[in-house]
Amino acid sequence: MLKYRKGLSDMPAYDVAERDWRLKLNANEAPTSLPPLVEERVMSRLSRVAFNRYPNQEMADIIAQVASNYSLREEQIFFGNGSSEIIEKLFFAFGGSGRSIVYPEPSFSMYRIYVKTADANGVPVGLEEDYSLDREKFVRAVRESKASLAVICTPNNPTGNLISLSDIEYIAQNVDCALLVDEAYLEFAGEDASAVPLLKKYPHLIVARTFSKAYGLAAARVGYMMADASIVEMTKKAFMPYHLNVLSLVTADIVYQMRDDFQPRIYMLRDECRRVNETLKGFPGLTVYPSCTNFILLKYAKAVELNEYLTELGIGVRSFGSAPRLENCLRVSLGTREENDVWMKEVKRFIEEKG
Ligand SMILES: *Cc1c(COP(=O)(O)O)cnc(C)c1O
């Protein structure tokens, strides 16, 4: 008998049924690879990498860029293998037995799993009927569980809605544990929606960002946190040495230098989000939730059959099985205008023929 860690066999796997999709709309990735000019500079930079050396200056370079962009100190920023690693290490840093971590439900499915790997006690707080966050209820859950870490996600995955800055500030004012704001999709909502300016006022606030979504760099696995220097200093201890490889670091460094080149794509997806929402509203029996991200959440009585129909056609969308509050829901990542026309046409056909 192999003696695995206690609890590991009960832990759910991150269940993505991947295959060679004709249209891959299940992971909120960008529909196209890097802009040609960015790719050219990345390739040229990669050809100058010293492969025999551990990464050294590369993380400092990209930290300096982010620090200057947000007027933060360099000690307030740290990078990881996607914001996934940042979030996982924060759960580790504030978790452990007897510690509670509060997060909304439904939200990013990995919070539940990181709570388990951190040996902590998960306290999900149900979102309202329209998936908005009741700030009073959230604060109460944090206080009653004496939580060490509270997490909110804005715009929220998979529901697509934003948490207002005044709600975030209200929560920050009324909890004294660490408060992580996961801003994986913030670029689609616009910088005005970001909690970053609140960092100066609230030293227990942490903001997590990723290069995987708006910057289309999911393959490189790069994300970062911004927080008070003391939180960064402590959380860093949970990472292994040289955890982020130099190929990803230099690629992200150039992407960040050239981030203005991504704005047209971000605007395109924002427009598509509006157009898809408007179009789907006219489909009988389909509920469409408002979104300010690169994905859209749909609710439909025959969602399971619709998902099977799309899968058969090679169109991969995200279904949530029996996840709480997401029954009969499908999350579709937005593609190019042409791609969105393709999947919407199939949804329409399904509803007309089998709905
Ligand atoms: C995609 C996503 C992340 C993590 O992305 P990485 O690729 O690990 O940077 C974090 N939070 C939310 C809500 C996400 O949707």
- The pLDDT tens digits of the residues spanning 71-93 come to 999 999 999 999 999 999 999 99
Beta-carbon count within 10 A of 45 CB: 14
pLDDT at 115: 95
Closest by CA position to 145, among listed 95, 101, 178 = 101
Is the Cβ–Cβ distance between 27 and 218 less than 8 Å? Answer: yes
Indicate whether residue 82 lines ligand 1 (CB < 6 A). yes
pLDDT at 15: 65
Q: If you measure from the C-alpha of residue 211 to the centroid of ligand 1, how many angstroms do you get, rounded to a whole number?
A: 9
The reply to whether omega before 104 is within 30° of 0 (cis) is no
Indicate whether residue 107 lines ligand 1 (CB < 6 A). no
Which of the listed residues 14, 84, 114 should we mutate to test ligand 1's pocket, taking the one with most ligand atoms within 8 A of CB? 84
Indicate whether residue 210 lines ligand 1 (CB < 6 A). yes
Indicate whether residue 26 lines ligand 1 (CB < 6 A). no
Alpha-carbon distance 144 to 180, whole Å? Answer: 18
- What number of helices (H) and strands (E) belong to the chain? 12, 12
pLDDT at 355: 76
Q: Which residues, given as ranges, of the chain have pLDDT below 50?
A: none
